[in-house]
Chains A and B, each alone.
Chain A
Amino acid sequence: MLKTFSIGGVHPAENKLSANSAIEVLAIPQKVVIPVSQHIGAPAKAVVAKGDVVKVGQVIAQSGGFVSANIHSSVSGTVTKIEDTLDSSGYRKMAILIDVEGDEWLESIDRTDNLVVDITMSAEEIKQRVAEAGIVGLGGATFPSHVKLAVPEGKKVEVLILNGVECEPYLTSDDRLMLEKGDQIMVGIQILMKALNVNRAIIGVEKNKPESIANLEKLSAKYKGIEICPLKVKYPQGGEKQLIKATINREVPSGQLPLNVGAVVHNVGTAFAVYEAVQKNKPLFERVVTVTGKTLAKPSNFMVRVGTPVSSLIDAAGGLPEDTGKVINGGPMMGKALSSIDVPVVKGTSGIVIMPEEQASRRQATNCIKCAKCVSVCPMGLEPHLLSKMAIRQMHDKLEAEKVMDCMECGSCSFECPASIPLLDYIRLGKGRVGSIIRSRN
């Protein structure tokens, strides 16, 4: 019996169309747009000016606080503009625009493919390097990784959990990374273990990635303290709390952090980025992005420089199909549709999913028939039908009492609702309002 989390969850069609496409390095575009806010927390502050010549890996925006991250140039060239530019939400946000000239890297970066296994840095040095390299959680939430490595005094981490679940349908970037860069991920995990001072790490991988599991299991013999935990396929197993429950059978109490149950969770992609930052001195300026969809000619996995327009990824995957209804930034469950494909790839872009018109449109919402399917699939044990009604009626006190803030917006409720009610839309609205009420209280 394979492990999984205990309450709720759904089984969307997997559609891992690009699982067998090896990671290709995408050509560097002629122009890049690098937003200064690609993470949760304070936006970074631009430290370059118009006309400056930058190299690959150079810091172009400095972290704007503790919960923030440095931004590095992903290309070499000249800064042409620093202005508000369209981001993935359709709003204009501050970004640095660079015209590409050649591909000149900072000399301090080790560009060879040699695997560096020995970790020479101390725990403190690792944490500092991770912060300097601007590494954020690459699973999609983009929480600055150095914050997660800074364990408060009095707290003890017992186990490091690696998220290789990739429970979102369609997406295969982590799968390919585990298959092709297994060694680097293993060393990255060892680095994270050293930084956190733990001697046990568990990689959670869903069993629909048998090749990755086999590869990691083979490699884990070489590296001490790393276990592979194959998991039953169920969405949203990649949720932090769900993964902890599935792998070590501990429940993170409402409103608390994984640290309270002795666990820290990082994505496997983050582990790879940590390897590159610590062993190769390479900051985070490129990532693997899955470009996929049933109507797309060539579903692929690309290694992409941050700032590359989404349109050039789609072109490389065979061009935008004519009957496209939505281009989704992220997976089909939690991703958001893009209003323009000219927006840039950022650190948190895990995939681009093309949906044909007939699949993309939502069905007409009808009345709630109180079937309670949303209640039974909610992985956080909430009552989505109730929360959405309360949000519409602005019953903020009750929303808070019903733990709306525990909602992680996985969308299982909206996915399962037979009446096609946009439950999550309203819950997110209520969550936003309750969140601001809570913040104003402090």
Chain B
Amino acid sequence: MSSIVLYTLLTLSSVGALAAIILYFVAQKFKVYEDPRIDEVEAALPAANCGGCGFAGCRNFAEALVKADEFGSLYCPVGGNETMEAAAKILGKEAVAMAPMVAVVRCGGSCDVRPVINKYDGAASCTVASALYSGQTGCQYGCLGLGECVDACSFDAIVMNPETGLPEVIDDKCTACGACVDACPKDIIEIRKKNKNDRKIFVNCVNKDKGAIAKKSCEVACIGCKKCVKACNFDAIVVENFLAYIDHEKCKLCRKCVAECPTGAIQEVNFPERKVKKEEEKVVTETSEKNKEEGAC
């Protein structure tokens, strides 16, 4: 009886020992060296796997950081400068500081200023709708309002405003990863420089139609009148294809263009209120009353 136990133990241990030896040599033969720093860098990254850096995920980005001689354009918009410094510290490289950015929706065509002229009842996807036709309003460039950008955002930083029918970016949550920019078939969303106190000056329109046509389809469309170009002291504004564009690198947030814009296409956000002349005040109240009457769409 005891001999059976003995034989069994001996056989099993010798098979085990043999297998261990084979496995040892196989492991030696097929060994893949992986830089341990990749794991360290990956741990320092935000683990959002959003693709904002241009890589498939945080690990891919970590590999790229470890491989790269210099960081250069490699940058994690989600983690920002802090994360990049942490990664640089692990790798003994120099971090390249970049200005924080934020996504900006450049369409102000809410339902009270841009009338809906037809009804879309197809699949609720902006890409599908834009491939079929120009959209529910007379503006072929404007927001379709079906919320593909909202679905694309991994950070809940962009939401549809049911009152305007337009998406709104929550600046504090936005990481400028650019997923919404890629999702939007109309190229309305742009990643722009984040200013102090989240202040923004931008052309809230992407309509490239001639002024008359643009104005007909939307009250707050840019008509390409170039008044803003003349008003700007910093050469920050260019008008191309009847559409103004404010270079966020050159803009000094002086607000002169906002005052000049005849249609209100240039928007200022998060600025302290300025002194309003009496006449203008009247206009403002009129429009706000009109909005109240019409209500949400």
Contacts and interface: CB of A to CB of B under 8 A. Distances in A.
B134 interface: yes
Interface string B118-134: 10011101011001111
Nearest to A357: B119
Contacts of A425: 122-123, 125, 128, 132
B209 interface: yes
A191 B134 CA distance: 41
Given A90-B133, A92-B140, A432-B131, A339 B118 contact: yes
Contacts of B118: 337, 339-340
A336 B134 CA distance: 12
B122 A362 contact: yes
A159 to B, nearest CB: 36
Nearest to B121: A362
Contacts of B213: 92
A339 B131 contact: no
What band does the interface of chain B fall in when counting residues whose beta carbon is under 8 Å from A?
10 to 19
B135 interface: yes
Nearest to B136: A339
Interface in A327-376: 336-337, 339-340, 361-362
Contacts of B19: none
Contacts of A362: 121-122
B128 A339 contact: no
A90 B119 CA distance: 13
Contacts of A219: none
A426 interface: yes
B134 A339 contact: yes
Contacts of B12: none
B117 interface: yes
B133 A336 contact: yes
Given A91-B140, A92-B209, A362-B121, A428 B134 contact: no
A429 interface: yes
Given A339-B118, A362-B122, A90 B128 contact: no
Interface in B202-252: 209, 213
Given A89-B133, A425-B125, A425-B132, 6 more contacts: A90-B133, A362-B122, A422-B123, A425-B128, A429-B127, A429-B128
7 contacts: A89-B132, A91-B133, A337-B118, A339-B118, A425-B125, A425-B128, A426-B125
The 10 residue pairs across chains A and B that have the minimum distance between CB atoms: A90-B134, A425-B123, A422-B123, A90-B133, A339-B118, A362-B121, A425-B128, A91-B134, A89-B133, A429-B128
